[in-house]
Structure 1
Amino acid sequence: MFFPKQLWFLLVTAAYLFGGTLPLLAQNQSASPLSSGWPTVKKENRPWTRWWWMGSAVDEKNISHLLAQYAEAGLGGVEIAPIYGAVGYENRYLPYLSPEWMRMLQFTVQKANSLGMGVDMTQGTGWPFGGPQITPEFAAAKLIIQDYTLPAGQQIPGTLQPKDFKEQLATWQAVTAYGPNGEVLDLSDQVDLQGKLNWTPPTGTWRIYVAFVGRTGQKVKRAAPGGEGFTLDHLSGTAVEAYFNRFNLAFKQNNLGFRAFYNDSYEVYGADWSPEFFEEFEARRGYDLRHYLRELVSSEKTAVVARLKADYRETMGEMLLENFTIPWSNWAHQRNSITKNQAHGSPGNLLDLYAAVDIPEGETFGSSYFPLPGLRRDSADVRNVDPDPIMLKFASSGGHAAGKNLISSETFTWLGEHFKTAFSQGKPEVEQLFLAGINHVFYHGVTYSPEDVPWPGWLFYASLNLTPANSLWPHFSGINTYITRVQGVLQTGKPDNEIALYWPIYDNYHQPEGREKLFTVHAINEWLQPTAFYKQTKNLIKMGYSLDFVSDKMLAQAQASKNDIRINFVVRHQVLVVPQATYMPLSTLEKMVNLAKAGATIIVEQLPQEVPGLHHLLHRQKQFQELKHSLTFTEVGKGLKQCKIGTGQILLASALPPALELAGIFREKLTDTGLKFIRRELPTGKYYYLVNHTAKAVDTRIPLNTPAQAVVILDPQSGQVGLAAITSTPDQTLAKVQLAAGESLILKTSTLPLPQVPAWEYLGPAATSVSLPGEWYLHFTQGGPALPADHKFKKLYSWTELPDKKAVNFSGTGTYTTTFTMPAKKAGEYLLDLGQVKESARVWVNDQEVGVLWSIPFRARVGKYLKIGTNTITVEVANLMANRIRYLDQQKIEWRKYHEINFVNINYKPFDAADWQPMPSGLLGPVTITFHETTASVK
């Protein structure tokens, strides 16, 4: 078909008559290699994926075939995670760490390396760490405290043992008696070898508390064959050593060439004890916990109970760090490997735990709300707690403090219901990761599936199911190329965050309720979001400040000079901010004062009130108050009080912006446009990664808090590079940017001129968009269960509404084609807008590939592909797997049959798609072309 001449005349003429602009559009994601100006691509720049080995039923042929497909799609590596297997394939299972399993691991590494990919592996099967080598004595432990009321002259009958018959593995550890007049007696030495307490109260009625070390009984979840067994006691160095012994035998001193051992999130439930806990507690806290058994199980909300439990929780965290995390990393380093760890969920300081490994890893679970026009978010996909970028900053902050360049994330876990999640939904979610400091994405994930397993192959129960059987797979390279470009930038240079924000963990520890305190992703609405720390973090980021979190341990290692605070001599911040905190160790307050003496600026919302814990409390309280009173503050205006110490200062400020301004710290005002950002520091400039998650386009000059002679725009969707139009002062640069809702850009500032880089082409005034008239021809190319017949559209609509019923059940790709006549071509740019796409598109104009349009907005610059005369546009659209899965369930065709959890929906109920409505599919349009004037200027 063709455009009527009158229509093209109106289109071209309107470009000159109508004002306004359209934002920069994405194009050509996969048609060309990364443009000059981008960092050289390494495998770490590409997204990696968790690779589930179901039953470890793997072989060389399928490993080779699948890895080649992964590499072709743009994946940079795999993370092997052995889990439960598929029913009926038991004869293919390989026992974990058996000689044949190890041979497959080595073959995988060799094949991956030949394809330029990397390999990590979880140091276990399923999660958490555990297995057959964990006998009951090394299994996750819990504290059982049993109390007795004992009148004078009586004894506890029989031997000391738990009343619950299920706790037969429990053994007693301590006995404490509390008398009617406040007496506290340790009776542990009154228990004989048989476990009989040989003690009688002299007078009055006494309460006897007996502490037992029990076992939680938790076993490895989703274990693979050969990996079944109890969960490890992570707090015990002896148990951890026993766990490693199995790997010593399998690996010896050789890592077989793979990169990292991996540990999933800490999901050890009820494990609040370890056999060595009493001794560790006394060595660390300075008093005997046996004397406080009553308070440890008390539900009273007293100061003593809260302080005791704070000491208890701090001890747990230190034991996890020093008995598991650090020894684990040391063990891996001895075998030329590194460690990758998800610390969240742990009963300890997340910042210190993340900092102790080589690659800290966060996690997103569920989906977030973004106000992007046309972005689908099904109500069934909404979880109780949305993914939170502030939670992700614990991982990036820990990594930054320890000088780690790679910060990873388990990405897209339960982003949506099985088979209903599109790449367009993943884009803002992964961008939220990048903005939080993540720069090494791991998809969750891809399941190994042999070629002879019928469609949809083997699938994991909680996954985005990014397998070659996924109907979106032909366009997978689109999102992968985007992530590769962004990660290449975010892995370059150093983090550039001016604020170190103190995390007052002792306020979390000082809670009288319960005993164990787990800092989990799923409960951030309880332990994180209600806190002043969280609210201040959110406010600072929204205002345009960049920050990292710091712990007490990190501050203890900090050094300072004027306008410079360095953690471990590595990461640099300009100021330390302390949000409202009730409790702070005396040593931390002393360190803050010493940092100020050395030249640092410390900004405190309010001075902390108390020291944490119970030991030598009066003495420590006295020292704490004396130190606070030694700080003399004077009013300096704007609600600020200043205490000058040495060459630095402590500022007391209920409102932070005036204090930050006084310290010479200025916000990035670009956030006033609604844009979000993260910066990286380079030797001759900075990288700014900008994202528009608002509902409106941004077309303006944005201020950057850095001087520059040049600013280069890098479009991570198209790969295009060009010099931005700027004006610069000694302190600030104004750079012109154009971003539609849902788009992103990277700005690279330079203190040097860059004459070799061409100017960026900005889109000028635009005519009203005009729909392409005429017919579209649809031909289905690949997918199933059967290819529908070809169809001719006079008006585009979902192919599920076609009269051919095969189309309702179809998941795969269909190619749309139309032609039109272009009577003239003006200088400027023509923009193709596909309208609604369900769910991803690859576009050709006149047989030249424009690229994969996989996200909102589905637009591309196509001027260079158009010609005078007849033009052909071809759009290959891939839909979701949902409609084909619906068909299988309606026909009761068995496609899921697995051991263990089998297959569940997003609410962990048995999965059944039979009642689903068909998901709209194909090119829905309207498809438009708009002409724009362009300007190319660096002034």
Structure 2
Amino acid sequence: MNKEEVIHQLNQPRSETRGRTRWWWYGCAVDKDEIIRELDLMKEARIGGVELQILYPVEANDKEKGVENYEYLSPGYFEMIRFAADEAAARGMQFDLTLGSSWPFGGPFLTEELSGPSVLPFCLDVEGPCRFSKDLTTVIYGKVVGAVLGKMEGAQMLPETMVDITEHVVDKYLFNWPWGTEIEEIVIPEGVHKIVLFVSSDKRQRVLKPLRGGDGLIIDHNRKDSLRAFLEYGGDPIVENIGRGKISNFFCDSIEVFGHNWTDILYDEFRRRRGYELRPYIYALWGEVKGLTEQIRYDFQKTMGELTVENFFRELTKWCHEKGAVSRIQAHGTWGDILQAYGAADIPEGETFSAFDRYAVNTVHRRLAVSAGHVYHKPVISNESFTWLRFPRFVVSLENIKAAADSIFLDGINQIVNHGYSYSKEDGVGMTPFYASTNINHTNTWWKYYKEISIYINRVCDFLQRGRPVVSTGVYLPQHDIWAKTPLADTHMCMKLDERLESSCINAIHKAGYWFDYVNDDVLKNWEKYEYDTLLLIECDHIPLDTMEKIRQFAEKGGNVIAAGRIPDKSCGMLRFEEDTARIREIGNELKRQGNVTVTEDKFDSLIQELRRIKTPDVLIYHHPETVGYVQRETETEDIYFISNISEKDIEETIKFTNTKTGFCVFDPMTCEEKEIRQIQVTEGGTEVSLDIEAYQSLLFVFHDGMDMPEPERRKEEIISLDLSRGWILDIPEKDFRKEYHVLDSWEKEPELKYYSGSGRYGKCFCITEDEWKELGGCGTVILHMEHLGETAEIYVNGTLADTVIKHPYRADITGLLHQGENSVELVVTNLLINRMIDPEYPEILEDKIIPEWPYASGGLNRCREEKVFNWREREMIKEPFPSGIWGEVRIVGMN
């Protein structure tokens, strides 16, 4: 690829790499004209596809207003989805669908038998010898799935005394009706004993905030028959009615299950997979069983993990393929091997949650998904992006979105899905924003400028979807420790891993220049097939014996192994625990004797020091590693690096690319302009490049044998500066406002503009004298600087659009647009939506009537509308409007 081809690719990125957006429909109360309008708006904004998610209603049926809520899986529901899919296809846009109504998967057709159980222990202390019985009617509620009796020694149950007494827990009858539960008389031996009953409640989780007709129990994520029951009723009819092939991706949102910690097929599967009966040892899932707690908990959690990967994640992808579609899945929230769970999808999807417009590794929601994509060779790894980017809503700027997108890219994501676009007929009063969204749709003040971000995302993803990732460091996931140490729980593996590894440790590795993947046993068992040359074991205790054997082989073949804090020294599970543990310790000692592993004092400074001793960083960011990051890909002929400065400061930086010595070019994918280089030095250690990087600027470096080295350019120096800070006129016809500012100040301070959200036009005429022109006309670059901007600005000079400024630095290149004598400058400035939304006079109309068709849902509908649509939270949290317009210094600077 030569420079001209890079330029062509930047200017004409592939349409399939465009960003997508989640598209919320409330109550399926949509009409065809509005569907067409919103798809046209999205296409114009260069959004490449939609992910439809149909949720709870927010308005009552109203024929006069044209509001009709369609029931889940009704003919109207199918008709609207089919129409939207056809209209998206007609515009060359991809059409995806979230299965179910809301999330997690479930519905009214799911029986209690197939739903996700929630089990809790109930304990009784008994001192023997005695004969014991107990009426538990009204004391416990639910089905007893297991009961055990055991002698206690201190706080531990003695395993040799444990007895399964489940058969002694029976129904208590009232007039021949089963009314409660009782423990039949049993013999208690001498000593202090504990009886433990595990009780499965029929109060199980239901689908969250569904469409009418979609309410019901959620599936058991461990059971194939449960998933297939859901797909039979909530998946197959969609394909049959919409048409095979019209839905590209079927999407599964995050696994937000609460209390689901059991499955009714557990005992049989546990026996088959682990080789012994769980029932006698069940107390270990909650309390301490002497010498066996971790082994039994491990076997339980591993069994649950295997079942969910096989019976939910892989089975869902299998169904998608049967329907001529692919799967796109968010796996965070599950308890299984997290890489296997993400890797089961055709497109693993991460998420960016909260104020993540900063440079840091996001283990919980992103890097695990990315690692799974790399490990299981998934070329596209997507991301639900900008969820709760700021709280409360309506305060997110385009600068925030651009910075958050860069953070996502630096974690290895190469496909963006916006969160998102809310169906809304109205742009002002009556708009229906999503409660957790960044509100990237036509109702936002800056929507007309979002295209700038959309095109940028398209360009970056085009490059990041080429070739393959370059990663040579693997961080082994301590999943076995988490399974061994976690009691009965709906284990959130991603969060547990993040807590155990610690963000400070992970970020230090990454920002030292070592881009890494998380790896699991699948990788280590097949390490020859991967390109990792360094393996980090971070405070791992438990490890399977066959994995430890593979680590030994990896080290013997020259791989670097560093164990932070300690080397693993325990096996996993109850069977063969002692024998396997002895062999694991033997291998560990052998590795240390042969010098094939280094054990560091901790996972912080000493780990980084050892890494630097044995391995040169892939990329070195010399001066600002806390805010500047990179990601690398390679094709057959090119090395591609994406570099981003996620800070509001312009910086001088030196970057060393340690694996490349060829010619290269570097461009800003936001502007498609080639970046100036200050200095280049090629050594045996790689290519060192010095350059200036603007605030929130990203760069694409493309290295290729056939390219020349860029010619270094000297830093521009300021020759002349013209102060334009005084004498501006602000005109906002919408508010019948016009004012001349001797000293610029933000417009929300004007009483009539305090709660105004929209655009204002600033205008100014000024004269460039003959002497000023002699200096200015000879400058190679002329820049308009603004000290403060709230939040975007179109810059017009003498009637010509020079630039649109949406982020720091607040400046625009106006070279060639000025002349001697009279000149004019106009700035069309747009502020944030929050100012209008906190206006005390902004109306919020709550439907107060009973809906005849939905008498049971009226209260819930009103609560949804009040909690999820209205702006009371914004008014509580934001007491004063955000600064708007321009203020401070404005000047023109000429540089040579």
Q: TM-score of the superposition, structure 2-length normalised?
A: 0.87
Q: Partners of 1:154 and 1:271 in 2: how far apart?
A: 35
Question: What is the letter of the counterpart of residue 243 of structure 1?
Answer: F
Shift in Å at residue 814 of structure 1? 1.4
**CA deviation profile, 1:781-816 (whole Å, cap 9, x unmatched):** 6xxxx52322322322111223xx432232111122
SS of the equivalent of 1:354 reads helix
Question: What is the letter of the counterpart of residue 173 of structure 1?
Answer: V
8 Å Cα contact 2:428-2:443 kept in structure 1: no
SS of the equivalent of 2:588 reads helix
Pick the aligned partner of 1:183 from 152, 158, 161. 161
Q: Partners of 1:906 and 1:391 in 2: how far apart?
A: 26
8 Å Cα contact 1:611-1:620 kept in structure 2: yes
Q: Partners of 1:710 and 1:197 in 2: how far apart?
A: 80
**CA deviation profile, 1:515-553 (whole Å, cap 9, x unmatched):** 442235xxx4xx345535654422211211111110123
Q: Partners of 1:134 and 1:162 in 2: how far apart?
A: 28
Q: Partners of 1:87 and 1:345 in 2: how far apart?
A: 32
- Residue 579 in structure 1 maps to residue 525 in structure 2: no
After TM superposition, the structure 1 = structure 2 runs for residues 8-19 of structure 1, keeping only pairs within 5 Å, are none
Question: What is the letter of the counterpart of residue 841 of structure 2?
Answer: Q
SS of the equivalent of 2:562 reads strand
Shift in Å at residue 877 of structure 1? 1.1
Shift in Å at residue 475 of structure 1? 1.5
Pick the aligned partner of 1:808 from 754, 763, 770. 754
8 Å Cα contact 1:176-1:187 kept in structure 2: yes
Pick the aligned partner of 1:791 from 739, 747, 750. 739
8 Å Cα contact 1:36-1:721 kept in structure 2: no
SS of the equivalent of 1:353 reads helix
8 Å Cα contact 1:819-1:872 kept in structure 2: yes
Pick the aligned partner of 1:273 from 247, 254, 262. 262
Q: Partners of 1:590 and 1:847 in 2: how far apart?
A: 72
Which residue of the partner structure matches residue 13 of structure 1?
none
Pick the aligned partner of 1:129 from 92, 105, 125. 105
- Residue 142 in structure 1 maps to residue 94 in structure 2: no
Q: Partners of 2:458 and 2:188 in 1: how far apart?
A: 75
After TM superposition, the structure 1 = structure 2 runs for residues 492-503 of structure 1, keeping only pairs within 5 Å, are 492-503=466-477
8 Å Cα contact 2:118-2:204 kept in structure 1: no
8 Å Cα contact 1:255-1:336 kept in structure 2: yes
Shift in Å at residue 358 of structure 1? 1.6
Identify if the C-alpha distance between structure 1 residues 662 and 71 changes in structure 2 by more than 3 Å, giving closer, same or farther: same
8 Å Cα contact 1:498-1:665 kept in structure 2: no
Shift in Å at residue 482 of structure 1? 2.3
Q: Partners of 1:704 and 1:112 in 2: how far apart?
A: 42
Shift in Å at residue 397 of structure 1? 0.7
Which residue of the partner structure matches residue 748 of structure 1?
702
Identify if the C-alpha distance between structure 1 residues 155 and 895 changes in structure 2 by more than 3 Å, giving closer, same or farther: closer
After TM superposition, the structure 1 = structure 2 runs for residues 375-386 of structure 1, keeping only pairs within 5 Å, are none
Shift in Å at residue 769 of structure 1? 4.8
8 Å Cα contact 1:544-1:671 kept in structure 2: no
8 Å Cα contact 2:791-2:806 kept in structure 1: yes
Pick the aligned partner of 2:407 from 409, 432, 446. 432
8 Å Cα contact 1:146-1:162 kept in structure 2: no
Which residue of the partner structure matches residue 73 of structure 1?
45
Shift in Å at residue 664 of structure 1? 4.9
- Residue 423 in structure 1 maps to residue 410 in structure 2: no
Identify if the C-alpha distance between structure 1 residues 754 and 96 changes in structure 2 by more than 3 Å, giving closer, same or farther: farther
- Residue 595 in structure 1 maps to residue 554 in structure 2: yes
SS of the equivalent of 1:508 reads helix
Shift in Å at residue 256 of structure 1? 4.4
Pick the aligned partner of 1:611 from 545, 567, 571. 571
Which residue of the partner structure matches residue 670 of structure 1?
621
Which residue of the partner structure matches residue 353 of structure 2?
365
**CA deviation profile, 1:402-431 (whole Å, cap 9, x unmatched):** 111222222222222122221122332222
Question: What is the letter of the counterpart of residue 575 of structure 1?
Answer: T
After TM superposition, the structure 1 = structure 2 runs for residues 614-653 of structure 1, keeping only pairs within 5 Å, are 614-631=574-591, 633-634=593-594, 642-643=595-596, 650-652=597-599
Identify if the C-alpha distance between structure 1 residues 536 and 203 changes in structure 2 by more than 3 Å, giving closer, same or farther: closer
8 Å Cα contact 1:702-1:734 kept in structure 2: yes
After TM superposition, the structure 1 = structure 2 runs for residues 512-551 of structure 1, keeping only pairs within 5 Å, are 515-519=489-493, 524=495, 527-528=496-497, 530-532=499-501, 534-551=503-520
Question: What is the letter of the counterpart of residue 573 of structure 1?
Answer: Y
- Residue 293 in structure 1 maps to residue 282 in structure 2: yes
Identify if the C-alpha distance between structure 1 residues 460 and 550 changes in structure 2 by more than 3 Å, giving closer, same or farther: same
Q: Partners of 1:533 and 1:592 in 2: how far apart?
A: 23
Q: Partners of 1:856 and 1:34 in 2: how far apart?
A: 26
Identify if the C-alpha distance between structure 1 residues 854 and 722 changes in structure 2 by more than 3 Å, giving closer, same or farther: closer
After TM superposition, the structure 1 = structure 2 runs for residues 92-241 of structure 1, keeping only pairs within 5 Å, are 92-148=68-124, 154=131, 156=133, 163-164=139-140, 167=141, 170-178=142-150, 182-188=160-166, 200-201=186-187, 204=190, 207-241=194-228
Q: Partners of 1:278 and 1:176 in 2: how far apart?
A: 15
Q: Partners of 1:114 and 1:369 in 2: how far apart?
A: 35
Shift in Å at residue 349 of structure 1? 2.5
Which residue of the partner structure matches residue 47 of structure 1?
19
Q: Partners of 1:163 and 1:747 in 2: how far apart?
A: 68
SS of the equivalent of 2:255 reads coil
8 Å Cα contact 2:220-2:226 kept in structure 1: yes
Which residue of the partner structure matches residue 521 of structure 2?
552
SS of the equivalent of 1:68 reads helix
Which residue of the partner structure matches residue 921 of structure 1?
884
8 Å Cα contact 2:665-2:707 kept in structure 1: no
Pick the aligned partner of 2:658 from 705, 725, 740. 705
8 Å Cα contact 1:177-1:187 kept in structure 2: yes
Which residue of the partner structure matches residue 58 of structure 2?
86
Pick the aligned partner of 2:642 from 664, 689, 695. 689
| Higher RCO (C-alpha under 8 Å, 6+ residues apart) | 1
Q: Which runs of 5+ in 1 are unaligned?
A: 1-32, 372-385, 567-571, 635-641, 644-649, 934-939
SS of the equivalent of 1:219 reads coil
Q: TM-score of the superposition, structure 1-length normalised?
A: 0.83
After TM superposition, the structure 1 = structure 2 runs for residues 400-479 of structure 1, keeping only pairs within 5 Å, are 400-416=374-390, 417-451=392-426, 455-479=429-453
Identify if the C-alpha distance between structure 1 residues 608 and 389 changes in structure 2 by more than 3 Å, giving closer, same or farther: closer
Identify if the C-alpha distance between structure 1 residues 849 and 456 changes in structure 2 by more than 3 Å, giving closer, same or farther: farther
Question: What is the letter of the counterpart of residue 280 of structure 1?
Answer: E
**CA deviation profile, 1:73-114 (whole Å, cap 9, x unmatched):** 222221111111122346511222223222222221221222
Q: Partners of 2:443 and 2:295 in 1: how far apart?
A: 55
Shift in Å at residue 204 of structure 1? 4.8
Which residue of the partner structure matches residue 323 of structure 2?
335
Which residue of the partner structure matches residue 232 of structure 2?
245
Q: Partners of 1:598 and 1:914 in 2: how far apart?
A: 59
- Residue 307 in structure 1 maps to residue 274 in structure 2: no
Which residue of the partner structure matches residue 3 of structure 1?
none
Identify if the C-alpha distance between structure 1 residues 172 and 314 changes in structure 2 by more than 3 Å, giving closer, same or farther: same
Q: Partners of 1:578 and 1:139 in 2: how far apart?
A: 38
**CA deviation profile, 1:244-295 (whole Å, cap 9, x unmatched):** 1111233249544122111111111011001011122222222211011222
Shift in Å at residue 486 of structure 1? 1.9
Which residue of the partner structure matches residue 820 of structure 1?
766
Q: Partners of 2:616 and 2:110 in 1: how far apart?
A: 52
Q: Partners of 1:671 and 1:348 in 2: how far apart?
A: 39
8 Å Cα contact 2:648-2:808 kept in structure 1: no
Pick the aligned partner of 1:282 from 257, 261, 271. 271
Shift in Å at residue 838 of structure 1? 0.7
8 Å Cα contact 1:837-1:925 kept in structure 2: no
Shift in Å at residue 201 of structure 1? 2.0
